[in-house]
Amino acid sequence: MEDLPEALVTEIVKKITRTSDLNSISLVSKQLYTIEGYQRGAIRVGSGLCTATEALSSLCARFPNLWKVEIDYSGWIPGHGKQLDNKGLSVFSSHCSSLIDLTLSFCSYIDDSGLGWLAHCKTLVSLRLNNAPLVTSFGIYSVAVGCTSLCALHLIDCEKIDSVEWLEYLGRDGSLEELVVKNCEGINHHELLKFGAGWMKLQKFEFEGKIRISDIFPSDVYDPSYDAHSTAIYDFCCEGLKDLRLAHIKTWPDIGLRVVLGKCKALENLCLEYVNALNDNDMIALSRGCSNLKSISLWLNLQRYHNEATTSFTDITLYALALNCRKLQILDLKFVGCSPDWPSEIGFTQKGFLVLIQSCPIRVLVLHSANFFDDDGMKALSSSPNLETLELIHCEAVTDAGMRFIAHAPCLSNLTLRVCHEVTDVGVSELGHAHKLESLVIECCRGVSLQAMQGVAKSVHYSSEVASDALSKLF
């Protein structure tokens, strides 16, 4: 190695991506130590960053070309040593001239004065604050004014951020393309409309309100015929928006962010999770302008309309999507609080669902507690020419007969069944006869045994319980 030209050694080091490997080669020789230090562009540190300010200074000196830094104190306890404080953030402005991307998670000792140091990082493009309990709107405003290249801002569990001067400033003078706000109780979804002209630049927007049981099981009465898009109450444009996620908010009687659905012309990915009081008119307005929509996720709960309880959308929504969104490839439907029997409170029917499936090139389909879906639906799916991945959760009307049908789906390669108790070993054997599946996941399906899965797919996963990483999908 010592005889190799330095340029060639540098190219070799560039090919190594694993952090553990990079740490190892830096111990081999002074030459590799120096070259690896100059090539390292990203680091992630946390509770082990003892004497934090001094340690961070040493790291920035060791890696002078850092462009991405993540500091994560999740799981920190006082016995781990001192956390990074406001003075520590001054290291970035003085020692990290190439910093572009910074994530601060569970940094309990950083407040507005610390963010004031970040305002001197003129190259900063992306800032993520996750659980920053001392940061207020003043600190965010100082970053907005100082970091003129800021394109992405994530605020998660920042309870003291309330006023929106920073939002109005970024909308007027900023260059944000990505804005994510989650569980910030002081930021109301109506106030986000004050972003004004900034909506035109946004490509990704995500807002999640504070999660409350009342959001999943609401008691408010809504009007399913109300059309929030019939009048131009909010005069702004978001035609560049490609990714939109709204979760745990109420849109009735105030309009709020629901109006955004009618203004997205370039939207490709849409996720609506427990957004109360939306109706078919919102989805009609969205579908008319979103011919490029590729992915949609609808997590629906029961809504009250006079003396009835129902989900907010009906087959009208499915027909609108089928008519106008012919590029749709990923569909995720989840229903919470509805009776497992059919007919029930779900506004969708199998007929409307199949119209959408047959009109769009669906590759990935996830159905959660879709009690309208049965073996006849599986038969219709079996002729879908594009379906590659199918996930069924709590679909009690699907039986072994449905497995026999879906085994003949021409492109199906990934199948997941969770809590589908009417499927047994007989149905799994039908899947094996087709010899098509790349992967098969079966969890908490009491009629299926581990033995029945052997050889059914190249990769199999079986559990009598639902895996922890999938448990959150059930609720």
Can you tell me the distance from the alpha carbon of 83 to that of 81, in angstroms, rounded to the nearest whole number? 7
Can you tell me the distance from the alpha carbon of 150 to that of 169, in angstroms, rounded to the nearest whole number? 12
Ranges for all domains in the chain classified under CATH 1.20.1280: 1-40
Place 177 in a pLDDT band, splitting at 50, 70 and 90.
Answer: very high
Can you tell me the distance from the alpha carbon of 291 to that of 454, in angstroms, rounded to the nearest whole number? 43
Can you tell me the distance from the alpha carbon of 190 to that of 234, in angstroms, rounded to the nearest whole number? 11
Render pLDDT for 95-142 as a digit per residue (tens, 0 to 9).
Answer: 888 999 999 999 999 999 999 999 999 999 999 999 999 999 999 999
Overall average pLDDT of the 211-220 stretch: 64
Q: What pLDDT was estimated at residue 309? A: 86
In terms of pTM, does the model score above 0.95? no
Q: What pLDDT was estimated at residue 304? A: 83
Q: Pairing state of beta strands 42-46 and 243-250?
A: unpaired
Place 191 in a pLDDT band, splitting at 50, 70 and 90.
Answer: confident
3-class SS at 416?
Answer: strand
The distance between the two most distant Cα atoms of the chain, rounded to a whole number of Å, is 83
Ranges for all domains in the chain classified under CATH 3.80.10.10: 382-475
Overall average pLDDT of the 144-169 stretch: 93
Instruction: Kindly state the percentage of the chain with pLDDT values over 90.
Output: 59
Helix (H) or strand (E) holding 410: none
57-66, 320-329, 392-401, 417-426, range with the lowest pLDDT:
57-66
Q: What pLDDT was estimated at residue 433? A: 86
Overall average pLDDT of the 74-78 stretch: 85
User: Is residue 213 scored above 70 in pLDDT?
Assistant: no
Q: What pLDDT was estimated at residue 14? A: 66
75-89, 173-187, 308-322, 418-432, range with the lowest pLDDT:
75-89
CATH superfamily of 382-475: Ribonuclease Inhibitor (3.80.10.10)
CATH number attached to the domain at 1-40: 1.20.1280
- Asked whether 384 and 362 are in contact (CB, 8 A), the reply is yes
Q: For residue 272, how far is the Cα from the chain centroid?
A: 11
User: Is residue 283 scored above 90 in pLDDT?
Assistant: yes
Render pLDDT for 257-280 as a digit per residue (tens, 0 to 9).
Answer: 888 998 888 999 999 999 988 999
Can you tell me the distance from the alpha carbon of 116 to that of 214, in angstroms, rounded to the nearest whole number? 38
User: Is residue 19 scored above 80 in pLDDT?
Assistant: no
Render pLDDT for 447-463 as a digit per residue (tens, 0 to 9).
Answer: 999 999 999 999 999 99
Instruction: Give me the DSSP letters along 448-462.
Output: --HHHHTTTSSEEEE
Q: What pLDDT was estimated at residue 55? A: 82
Render pLDDT for 360-385 as a digit per residue (tens, 0 to 9).
Answer: 999 999 999 999 999 999 999 999 99
Q: Pairing state of beta strands 303-305 and 308-310?
A: antiparallel
Choose among 406, 410, 415: nearest CA to 445.
Answer: 415
